Amino acid sequence: MKKIGFAIIVFLVCFSSRAQKEVKIAPLGFDRENTSIAKGKIDTISYVSKTVGTTRKALIYTPPGYSGKQNYPVLYLLHGIGGDEKEWLNGGVPHIILDNLYAEGKIKPMIVVMPNGRAMPDDRAVGNIMAPDKVQAFANFEKDLLNDLIPFIEKNFPVFTDRNNRAIAGLSMGGGQSLNFGLGNLDKFAWVAGFSSAPNTKKPEELIPDPAKAKRMLKLLWISCGDKDRLLSFSQRTHDYLQQHKVPHQFQIEPGDHDFKVWKNGLYQFAQLVF
């Protein structure tokens, strides 16, 4: 009898839907520059935005060994409310994280585009960053991304142009954008990730009105957040809905606050799962 009781407890602990699966945390040194490995390259690009009516900037990371002779999938990587196209580079060292992953053979060659997600003529993170027009500009970026930036990238870089080779991920406001734009345009994105997603994240019923379609079309949906983040409820309510409607996704609450420790880990994990 004791054995059966023990087996039942083991079963419940392992298969309870409430139990969080193993939390994935990057190993020490994942974000430390290694001078003896091949490096990718960061460039600034400028594209004409019909949506905003200006020429806008974005950063682009091309991987070690980058060559125009082959095509690459593209990850669009979005910043938060206090940032711009340089926020990831300055705070999250994505080039170092990715270079290290390439050196270990842990990721597929991809191009990473880091746009400015505040789609308005003055898109700098100055003044009151919470002003309604600036917050609205993060929603307006959907049109700039789909109609201006993606076509520019696809015209000027050797990239695949199908949904299976396009991913969107972001931190905080950029996490909300990634969930809103990715899940709202499943014909364009098969891979979606939100790190510490902000209150701009649409309500679950609006975000995923057709769970069966999301289930059918998504290759991967990743949602993560720090356990001390006051915005955790926005990730949690999305996860609860996805779980209730049986849409496969990876959800992790990890030790941390609303900061780059969580976002860098998000990039480290998602980069290995995407494409």
The residues that touch ligand FER, with contacts defined as CB under 6 A, are 80-81, 135, 172-173, 198-200
Q: Which is nearer to ligand FER, 100 or 116 (CB)?
A: 116
* Nearest partner of 98 among 230, 260, 268, judged by Cα: 268
Tokens 């095509």 appear where?
71
Q: Which is nearer to ligand FER, 51 or 201 (CB)?
A: 201
Q: Are 95 and 58 in contact (CB under 8 A)?
A: no
Q: Which is nearer to ligand FER, 62 or 235 (CB)?
A: 235
Distance (Å, rounded) from C-alpha 189 to C-alpha 220? 10
Q: Which is nearer to ligand FER, 116 or 165 (CB)?
A: 116
For the bound state, the minimum distance from the C-beta of residue 135 to ligand FER, rounded and expressed in Å, comes to 5
Q: Which is nearer to ligand FER, 81 or 110 (CB)?
A: 81
For the bound state, the minimum distance from the C-beta of residue 178 to ligand FER, rounded and expressed in Å, comes to 12
For the bound state, the minimum distance from the C-beta of residue 139 to ligand FER, rounded and expressed in Å, comes to 10
For the bound state, the minimum distance from the C-beta of residue 174 to ligand FER, rounded and expressed in Å, comes to 7
| φ, ψ at 57 (rounded to 5°) | -105, 150
For the bound state, the minimum distance from the C-beta of residue 70 to ligand FER, rounded and expressed in Å, comes to 35
